Structure formats: structure tokens, C-alpha cells
Amino acid sequence: MKVAVIGGTGKLGFPVAAGLQAAGMEVSIVTRNAIKAEQTLGRLFNYIESDVNNPSNLTQQLAGFDAVHINLAGVNELQCQLTIAQGTEHIVQACKDNQIKLISFISGTTVNKNNTHFYDIKAKYQAEQNIIACGIPYLIFCPSWFMETLPQFVQEKRASVFGPASQPIHWVAVSDYVQQVVNAYQDVNVRNKRLYVHGPQAISLKDALAQYLSAMQNPLTVTHTPYWMAGILEWLTGDNSIKYASDLCKYFEDAGESGDPAPSNGLVGKPNTKLSQWCQDRFTQANLAAAV
């Protein structure tokens, strides 16, 4: 199977590309800058240069593929609408033009019509609806929060979350998610499904971050930053992702986790990695890297 991974240079797209390739599929990464992608990731894949908002070029570049995996993101309302919602619309049309046999998409566990007041959810919901309506067999993965996001809450001498961060989260290891994607691709009977991806334990963000710090032998304690501070921090640092992180934390604190992973677990396997094991593995890897 020839698979094009759109958004395959990121922390979620790259592991999926690697997992599919390890399973024997021919994987190409579609990116806006093929030279930079190859310099970053190495000559592990074929690299195709295109932009999701260049429909005619995208249609040309997806010719000859059997499947397309979509991994798109934004850090503000405009980016989410242009990249996730509009970008997916263009991808779907290119897939239809090229008679692609399978589309897969990473969405989120709380994505539904009732939650579209949050711009990120709105864009993903629109993207899902476009995929479902196109007539091509699809796989929509709806994960909860990934363990790999925890280090992002540690900056220099500060470990901080926005708001109370008290909602239970079934943390998922990226490796477990990747295995579910691979299993779904390999089983032709698993098609036209929304697959909820939840890890084995429900732990709040504040407690998960404290557990991560302890495992890494980091003496920092978790502090709580009020939501309103995000705009000021973004202005001071120029980091556009700060306000998005605050918006996401506030949204999730209000909405909570949703979705039933039981059907997905039966179809594509159950994520088994616990946060304690993931933290220990991360600590071991950090020590090995430091010793080199």
C-alpha cells in the first residue's frame, strides 16, 4: 500500500509514518518544505512538496497513492480554520480526483457538534464531516491527551499549567496510538469508523505533570497560571502557542473527556502503556543521551 502522510514531520505525524513504513507500507511525507523535512528526518521516506491550500498542486502530488493520512494542526482560530478545516476539504477533493481508497484523520476525543464553540474543535468537526461525506472509506482517530505533551509544560525553571487542570485524562502514549493506526490500516474490515483512543489510566493534568517531574528527578513543583495571563505571556515572548495552550486547557476543564474507547480497543487493540512506565522510559532515555 502506498500511503501519503500529510503533516508527517510533527510529533504525531512522523511516528505514524514510521509505523506504517515498518509495517511494510510505502510511505511518502507531504510537506511544504521537502528539503527541510529531509534534513530533519533523514532519508527515511520519500518527500513530496505541496501545500494543503494549493488544491491543483495537491491533486497532482497525490496521484498514484492508495491511502492518505491527515495530521493537521493550528495554534489560533484562523490557522485552525485554514489548515484543518479548509486544508482537509482540499485533501478530500484531491483524494476523490485520484480515486484514493482510504483516508485517515487524527481528530480528538471531544470532537462533536456540541463542542464547536471552541475553534479547534469546530475545525476538526468540519474536517470530519467532509471526510465522512466524501464516499471514500475512512478511519477517524479520536485520541485523548498524549503523554508526549507533558514536557511542553516545563519551561526553564518553571512547571506550570493553565487553570486548575483537574479534569481526569486517559493519557495515551504515542507508540500505542501508532500501533492502533497500523492495526486499522492492516485490517480491511476496520473501515468507516471513529475510533476513540484512551490510555489505561485517568489522571488530571496537574497530577500527571507532577508525576512526570518526579520521575525525571526534577525538583520543580507544579504551579497554576490563570487563563488571562496567556495573552500577556504571548505578547512578551512572541510565542503564538501559549494562548492556544491556555484556550485548550480552559476548554477541556469545562468540557471534560468524552467518548467510549471500548469498541476501538476491540477492533485495533487496547493502549496499555501507563504514565509511570512512560515516565520511566523517558528518564532512561534522557540518561542514555546524556552519557553519550
Which residue ranges make up each domain of the chain? 2-143, 144-172+198-257+272-292
Select from 185, 190, 178, 177 the least CA-distant residue to 267: 190
Beta strands 2-6 and 26-31 are parallel
Could you tell me which CATH number the domain at 144-172+198-257+272-292 has?
3.90.25.10
Domain 2-143 maps to which CATH number in 3.40.50.720, 3.40.50.1820, 3.40.630.10, 3.30.70.330? 3.40.50.720
Strand ranges, E, within the chain: 2-6, 26-31, 46-49, 67-70, 102-106, 138-143, 154-155, 158-162, 168-170, 193-197, 202-204, 222-225
- Burial-class residue 93 by CB neighbours within 10 Å (0-12, 13-18, 19+): middle
Q: What cell was used for 226?
A: 490563570
**Per-position pLDDT tens, the chain of length 292:** 999 999 988 899 999 999 999 999 999 999 999 989 999 888 889 999 999 999 999 999 999 999 999 999 999 999 999 999 999 999 999 999 999 999 999 999 999 999 999 999 999 999 999 999 999 999 999 999 999 999 999 988 899 999 999 999 999 999 999 999 999 999 999 999 999 999 999 999 999 999 999 999 999 999 999 999 998 988 888 887 899 999 999 999 999 999 999 999 999 999 999 999 999 999 998 888 777 6
